[in-house]
Each structure stands twice: as structure tokens, then as C-alpha cells.
Amino acid sequence: MNTNPKRVLRFLILWIANSLLLVILSTVFATNVVLGTLNLPKPAASVLVGLILTLLVYSVPWIAKKTQVKLKDDNITVLVYFVVNAIGLWVIKRFADFTGLGLSSILFVIICAVIVSIVEVGVDKSSSVYLNKFQNK
């Protein structure tokens, strides 16, 4: 198996960013975004949902390649990430007993998907630039 360390680092950075963002969203929208259940504490739910969202986003280039969609513009990338995150968050919230993420309505699914998508694109771009600088030294 050929594992690119740069790709693994980008994955881990995105996972950490998604997990921290979920904690922030659950703090800001405390009555509408709930992390954790009786059996799954808030930190574990944050890590689990962050992992699921990161896996979904990392599948976007593969899906785009299979469907022959070009992701060369940042606006298109944000839109695709939004669609993937909105569907992913809605499915994750449907299984709240297992995932530990509860969203009060579809409105908050959309709000969270917009915020998560923008942050993911920003983190992906900045981590890519940083890792390229680090690799060139």
C-alpha cells in the first residue's frame, strides 16, 4: 500500500478541524446542535462525527473523478463540499443515538453544512500551502 505522508497529514488536520468545529458549533448553537448522548460523551461524539465528515470530504475527489465533474474552481469545490456535508450531516443526525450528533431542524443542518464546508475548504487550502512549504525546506 502506497501511503503519501502529506495526504495523511492533511487528513489528520482536516479531522481535527472538523472535530473542533463541531464542539464550537455545539457551544454557539447550544439548544440546536447537541453533541453526545447518555452513552457517548461529547468529546467522543465530536471525534466520531469529525471522522465521518472527513471521510465524506476525502471521498469527493474520487466521486468527482468517477462522475467526470471538474473541481477546478473554489466556488464549485465549496458547493460540492456543501452538498456532501449537508447530506452527511442529515444522515448522521438521523442516527443520533449512535453518532451522538443531534440537530434540531433541517435549517441547522444547512447552517452547519455551510460553516463546515467553508472551514474545510479553508483548512484544506492552508494546510496544502503549509505542507508544501514544509516539504520544500
- The domains of the chain are located at 5-125
Q: How far is CA 115 from CA 9, 14, 37, 40, 41, in A?
A: 22, 14, 23, 24, 23
Type of residue at 99: T
CA distances from 93 to 67, 82, 83, 97, 132 (A): 27, 16, 15, 9, 36
Q: Give the pLDDT confidence score for residue 35 in this predicted structure.
A: 94
Give the mean pLDDT of 68-95.
89
Ranking 6-15, 71-80, 90-99 by mean pLDDT, the lowest is 71-80
Question: Which pLDDT score is estimated for 94?
Answer: 95
Strand partners, 67: none
